[in-house]
Every structure is written in structure tokens, then in C-alpha cells.
Chain A
Amino acid sequence: MKILAIDTSNYALGVALADNDKILGEYITYSKKNHSIRIMPAIQTLMKDCDWKPADIEKIVVAKGPGSYTGVRIGVTIAKTMAWSLNVPLSGVSSLEVLASGAARYFDGLVAPLFDARRGQVYTALFKGEEGELKQIEKDQLAMMAEFAESLKNRKEQILFIGTDIHIHQQLIEEVLGDRALFAEMTEHNPRPSELALLGRNRPSEDIHSFVPNYIRLAEAEANWLEKNRKTKQG
């Protein structure tokens, strides 16, 4: 099956083409700018280089967040629209899972991928590699880094932290977890679109119309509105 994988959810802009057990090509950059300008030309270039026509695509896989609201919407919008137009199945994969998967597969401990979410917060989750498969231990979440690190204190395994934003939180993590915390090499800190293609290959298809990014957070105005209404209801 010919798969097009798209990730614009964070710093990485990634496109991969996979065909059954082969990765045919990847296009990756790691600068968080102009995803909207660059992603379609990237798809076009890679498909041309691999001799694919749009009609060859049999499945689309997209990184569905968490991440930059705008970034993740760009990828999801393109994936939804192309899947609808080409009438092919669409699968969404967690952006955190994509980040964790490469390193987690052969690491005999826990893997915590993270994206900085400002003011001490991170988007994170916890994974464990088991016989080359990825098992999710803690769900995708928005957490205070300090609290998330505390919650890992009682675990026995070593914990590998991955992500380009690690340097923002490394000191705090080391203070809480000491030498049980490991930090990935710089080559592991970026999600690979080929991992996305692989993870999404056998995922169930989404309903294209209702498929939306996993923002994790409500829009700020919505959260404030709910809070206000809750208060007035309570009197």
C-alpha cells in the first residue's frame, strides 16, 4: 500500500512516502517557519522524485498533534482534503508517539517525548518499547514539567527524554530524577515522517469529515467562557 505521511505539527516539517515495507523517500526540515508555504511544494517535490502521481496514493497518515495549533491545522487540513478528494483512507497518529517511536523501539526503559508549551508546561506522554512495538504508558497530556517529573519518581526504569525543547527543562528533570533520566542525542530529537508512515500503516481509518487535530487544550476564550458559566451557575 502506498502511503503519504505528513507532519507539520511542530518544528519538523516532514513528508514521507512508503510502499508496503519500503520507505521510498523523506523530506524533512527542522525550522518552525512557513509550514504553510513549504509543505505542499515539499509533497510535490518528493512525489515527483519518487515517480508518484496523486492518484497513486492509497492512504494518508498525518501527525494530529499535540503541537502548534496553526501547524497541526495545516497538516490536518491538507491530509483531510486530499484523502477526501482522492477517496483514500486517512489515519491520524499522535505527534508525541512519532517523536518517541524511533528511540523507544530498542530502548529497554521508558521514553518521554516532549514539546515545550511555555510557562513551565510541556506536551508529553510516556512510552515503553516492547519487542519492537511501542506501548503507551501515559496518555498525551499538557503538564507542568515539574509535576510530570515528580510523577515519574516512583518508576524503577530509566527514562529517556526526547525533543528539541529538552534543553529548556533538562536541569529541572535532572534535579528530580537524577541519573535515572537520560537525554537523547541531537539526532534523535526530531520526529521522522517515515516513523509516522510506519505507525499509521495499520491504524484504523478516521472519519474524514469529523477528523480534527488533538489540540489537548481548549481555545483560551472557550476555557474562560466555560469557567465564567460554571461560576454563574454556582451563583
Chain B
Amino acid sequence: MKKDQLIMGMETSCDETAVAIIKNGREIVANVVASQIESHKRFGGVVPEIASRHHVEQITIVLEEAMNQAGIQMTDLDAIAVTEGPGLVGALLIGVNAAKALAFANNLPLVPVHHIAGHIYANRLVTEMMFPLLSLVVSGGHTELVYMKEHGHFEVIGETRDDAAGEAYDKVARTLNMPYPGGPHIDRMAHEGSPTIDLPRAWLEEGSYDFSFSGLKSAVINTVHNAEQRGEIIEPKDLAASFQESVIDVLVTKTLRAAKEYKVHQVLLAGGVAANKGLRAALEKSFSELSDIELVIPPLALCTDNAAMIGAAGSILFEKGKRADLALNANPGLDIDIYN
């Protein structure tokens, strides 16, 4: 009988210090996340130097908790998988160096993982992947459509040319005087309002799967500004609903079109914005009519940054022979197609 594969995942690319243990690429044995969001709230966003400091404070605590949860020894592990990039360089460095120290101290293989590959593989903790598939990745730093013909192969067929969707949410939230992080507030307000304000949708050139949200963001800011100058009152809920509808309309339409064109079997939602209820509902509605494409949406805790997803991606990359040596560095601008 084949022995179970146990991979430790480590993730410190932004403001969560996370360690997880994943069995056979699909089963969560331990999953610990120490979030710093309370610390960064007062600054209205993540401060890189402060994020790095918190990671150093948390790293061994989170490691120990994960090992205790799993009830295993380091010698039971097959490999250490760690987020190599993209992300904040100072934050990534803590995870990368801790992972290298662990790999060296315990003579374990080291597997570098792309953060977005991690987000996509969060889905494999929910259900087995069926190829070819398409993943819509939406987070504070990313808006991408990634096509996968097989495990470990990532082809970006569309990406944002300016702001990420999550970034646009945060900026619009700031315009509406909502506290950081703004996304959940906009999502909530959108459900209370109605999309009565006409806002643009950036479809870009015919056939493109790219995105652009800076025009929409500016349109929202201008709408608020012009109303103020005319002494009119705009209902923030309606503005939130209109903004959200515009974002979701573009995301869902392009995802649907790509899913059909690439004849995929599955569409996977990934990234922190996947927590958005409006987006989930709109995707579910659109894909319910397509019986030959399965839509997978992971639970909220697996959408935001975590290490279980890094362990899940690391499991496949480990099997494919992907390794790093002890000279592995943080790579804040890493491209996802390095694996192809």
C-alpha cells in the first residue's frame, strides 16, 4: 500500500502568517492562520514593514500550532511547500527563510509555490479537478482568468491591465467612507441598494479576456464628486449596488465566454474576492444553465489567504518533481507560467 503523502504548506505573502498540513493533496490535516488585519486596520491598508514584523512574531507559534493540530512529527512530512511569490517582498522573505531553515534542519525537499497557483488549488480541497478547467482569480492584487489543461500547468488568458478587482473595491469603499478592508462593506451595502446609477463596463477590444477597473473606479469617484457639487444626495447603497453590478457583469460575462470557448469541464473561483456574495450568486446563476460545466466555489476560509492552498498546490508540484534549493529567494513579481 502506498504511504500517505504529507506536505507542509507555508504562506506569508501579505498579512496572514499561515501553516497547514495537507494529506495526499486533498485533505486538510491542520490549517492555522494568524491574521494581522486588526493591526493594519488603523492604517487603512497593509503596511509592508509592519506585516514583516508580525510574521517574525508569529512564525514559530503558527508552526507549532499546526504540528500540534496534525499530531505528527517533522519526520512524517514528505516536503515543505512555501509561497515564493508574488506578494510583499519583506513578508515573503519570512516564509521563504523559515521554510528553508525547516527543510535544512529536517533534510526535507523544498517546493516553491506561486501564490495564485495556491488560490486555484484551494479548490482541490473541495473537489477533484477535472481538466481542462478555467479559474477566475479575484483578489486584492489579482484579477485573472487562468486556463489549465492539466495539473501544474497554468496559462493566463486574461488579466487586469490596471487595478485588481479587490483594489477597486477598496478604493470605492474609501470614497464612500467605509473602513478598511472595504470589499465586504460594499458587498453588504450592494445587497441593500439597487443598481440605479449608470456606470461603465470595460469590455476592452473584441474577444479580449483582459480586465480594466480603473475607469469604473474613476466613474464612481466622479459621480460622488459631481453630486456633491450640485448639492444632490446619492444613496451610497445604490452606488455600491451599481458598482458591484458593473464589476460582476464583466467578470461573469468574460468567465462564461472563456469557459465555452475553451470547452472546459470546470470553472473554479479563487482569491479573496471569491468571498463576495454578489459574485458567487451571479456565477451560480449563470452556470446553472450549463449542465456540462461544473462551477466550484470554495468555502470562505479557503478563499482568503491560507496555507492549506499552498500545501495543496505544493503536493502536485512535489509529485511533478518541482524543487528549490537553499538559495530560494522571495520573488515579489513571480509569473505563474514558470511551471509550464
Contact = CB atoms under 8 A, between A and B. Distances in A.
Interface of A: 34, 36-41, 43-44, 54, 69-70, 73-74, 76-78, 80-82, 84-86, 208-210, 212-213, 215, 219-222, 225
A225 B42 contact: yes
A222 B327 contact: no
B329 interface: yes
A51 B275 CA distance: 52
Contact of A36 (B47, B61, B96, B102): B96
Interface in B306-329: 325-329
B49 interface: yes
A107 B92 CA distance: 43
A78 B100 contact: yes
Interface residues of B, number: 35
Contacts of B60: 80-81, 84, 208-209
Interface in B225-282: none
B63 interface: yes
A54 B104 contact: yes
A38 B60 CA distance: 22
A85 B300 CA distance: 31
Given A34-B329, A221-B49, A77 B98 contact: yes
A40 B100 CA distance: 7
B130 to A, nearest CB: 38
B105 A73 contact: no
Interface of B (DSSP majority class): helix
A40 B56 contact: no
Contacts of A41: 325-327
Contact of A210 (B43, B49, B57): B57
Given A37-B327, A40-B97, A40-B101, A54 B64 contact: no
Contacts of A78: 97-98, 100-101
Given A39-B97, A81-B98, A86-B105, 11 more contacts: A40-B326, A54-B107, A73-B93, A77-B93, A77-B97, A81-B97, A81-B101, A213-B56, A221-B43, A221-B47, A222-B50
Contacts of A54: 104-107
B42 A219 contact: no
By Cβ-Cβ distance, the 10 closest A-B pairs, closest first, are A40-B326, A81-B101, A219-B49, A221-B47, A81-B98, A84-B60, A78-B101, A85-B105, A40-B100, A82-B101
Given A73-B56, A77-B56, A84-B63, A220 B97 contact: no
A215 B309 CA distance: 33
Most buried by B among A37, A81, A225: A81
B330 A36 contact: yes
A77 B327 CA distance: 15
Given A69-B52, A209-B61, A82 B105 contact: yes
Nearest to A213: B56
